[in-house]
Structure 1
Amino acid sequence: MTPADHDDLVTVERELTALSRRLRNGARGIYEAHGLTFTEYSLLRMVDDNPGVNAAELATAAMIDKSTASRQLGALRDRGLLDRVADGRTARGRRLELTDAARTTLADIASASEAAIGALLHDWPPSDIAAFAELLHRYNSSAHPGTP
């Protein structure tokens, strides 16, 4: 690795940290307006993105322990945002499904988030937005559990 490569990696790490902080803090009002924490929203989005996922798989994907996942998911079920349904793979297996209320909530949050992001990127050329989207997707697709 050359010194320039190292400097670029330092910049990427700092910018990812700033992005994470910005997303959590800036979007907090959007999630809270819908009665969710960032973690709860993230878990619901993961269920939405992974049909048929069970609690253990979700805990692994979210990089949280099973007991934390169980508490979080139980609270979401109690609030009518998640259902557990038989998955047919095992006698005791249950997969997670979003309720209609959760789908509506996620759609409302996505709409508000997209509007906020659009406002921040309003003066970016469409080609830059497309490149940014592709690079973020590429980074997140290459991440492995236990890495940032």
Structure 2
Amino acid sequence: MSQPSLELIEKEITDFIRRIVISEKRNDQLERSAYIILRILSSNGPSGVKSLAEALQLDISTISRQAAALESKSYVQRIPNPQDKRAYFYQITTLGEEELDKNKQRRFERLGKILEDWSEEEQLAFGKLLQKYNQHVVERLKP
């Protein structure tokens, strides 16, 4: 890969991340970590701290702290692990699903406004390139 390509991609990814962070703060969204955990629990069902930490490639103490914050807001609840009664899973609550859905809808609306001048083909190509990038990151960063 050429240096100019790498420089362009690095700059645009940095700007992309910065704009997402600014947008989340400006629009009173769930914190990024909360959104991601709720999204995983909504999609995959109840999960333990260890499996969440592995999925997010974070340490268990970080996930425990973030999950505790979600639990204090009643967005998740602890349920017993059926295989190990000493352990527990986090499960998204109805309130957590509602908050996730509201945040997801606001994200859809913002994306819709940002991309309204793009053709359907451009939007789909952009989505597929982001998907390809994300899949490669996961594959290349596996321990």
TM-score of the alignment, normalized to the shorter chain, above 0.5 = yes
Normalised by the length of structure 2, the TM-score is 0.86
Which of 79, 82, 97 pairs up with 1:85?
Answer: 79
Match of 2:14 in 1: 17
Q: Percent identity, aligned pairs only?
A: 26
Q: CA deviation at 1:125?
A: 0.6
Tell me the alpha carbon deviations over residues 38-64 of structure 1, each in whole angstroms, 9 at most, x when there is no partner. Answer: 222222222223323211111222232
Q: Could you tell me whether the CA contact under 8 Å between 1:56 and 1:66 is conserved in 2?
A: yes
Residues 1:55 and 2:49 aligned together: yes
Count of aligned pairs: 141
Which shows bigger deviation, 135-144 or 115-124? 135-144
- Contact in 2 for aligned 1:84/1:97 (Cα 8 Å): yes
Q: Kindly report structure 1 stretches of 4+ aligned residues shifted beyond 4 Å.
A: none
Deviation at 1:145, TM superposition (A): 8.1
> Which AA in structure 1 matches 2:86?
R
- Cα offsets for 1:75-131 (capped at 9, x unmatched): 211210001222323232322211000111111111111111111111001000011
1:40 and 2:34 are equivalent in the alignment: yes
Partner of 1:28: 25
Decide whether the 8 Å contact of 1:52 with 1:97 is kept in 2.
Answer: yes
Q: Which runs of 5+ in 1 are unaligned?
A: none
